[in-house]
Amino acid sequence: MSTCSITAPREPGGSVARTAREKLLVAGERLIAERGLSVPTQEIVEAAGQRNRSAVQYHFGARDGLITAILERRLADLADRQVELLSAHETSGRPDTVVALLEILIRPMFEVPYAEGSTHYARFLEQVRRLPAVTEGLLSSERWPVVSIVAHRLSLALKELPRETRRRRMDALTTVMAGLIADLERAAQAEGRAIADDDATITETVAMIAGMLTAPVSEATGA
């Protein structure tokens, strides 16, 4: 498989500008995760410790620009880790089982954001993932080539399911994944600890989602 490199954009300007921008990214991720898309931009500015009331506009153009930048800062590392895992899977010669394929998608979600200091990434993604700017841009197949490859292989691995059932379950995959990891974030915050990123937690999460995808079809509903 030919790998592709996805590079997140770099912020021009000096260290002061980058520091202010970083504070806005951290505050924006946390407040949108906790309170939703209706959180006032001014509260994000205040939480970031910025005196300039137009700081979001200055650094990002608008709220949508801030949301895009929050996602962009993790995108390259997440995509690179997915490429690593897919390459390792193909080198191993293991079959494309549902569990093996899900591991490629899910493990980076536990490893990358939290290693980089995030505490609210999954909850943030839960809030913004259906915005047109996100679904048509940042989460498109062009930006996430491994996701597109793995989704296709997952669909093949689920070929025993009726087509419509398979489509519904695949459509629910991102919702379930973000929701489960978001719940783990909430539990970790409530207990005053970092989110667990050990193999046991990742394996259990993969197993739960695999169960959703492969559950027997109900005779009553056909779902």
pLDDT in tens, 40-92: 999 999 999 999 999 999 999 999 999 999 988 888 899 999 999 999 999 99
Place of tokens 């027997």: 216
Greater pLDDT, 164 or 9:
164
Residue 221 lies in a domain: no
Of 39, 61, 83, the residue that ends a domain is 61
Residue 220 lies in a domain: no
Same structural domain for residues 146 and 187?
yes
Give the C-alpha separation, 188 to 193, whole Å: 5
Question: How large is the average pLDDT for residues 29-41?
Answer: 95
pTM, rounded to two decimals? 0.83
Same structural domain for residues 57 and 93?
no
Same structural domain for residues 112 and 184?
yes
Same structural domain for residues 126 and 173?
yes
**pLDDT of amino acid 60:** 94
Question: How large is the average pLDDT for residues 177-183?
Answer: 95
Residue 68 lies in a domain: no
Count: domains in the chain: 2
Domain of 48, in residue numbers: 12-61
> Would you say how long the chain is, in residues?
223
Same structural domain for residues 57 and 80?
no
**pLDDT of amino acid 207:** 98
Give the mean pLDDT of the chain: 87
The total of other beta-carbon atoms located within 10 Å of residue 22's CB is 14
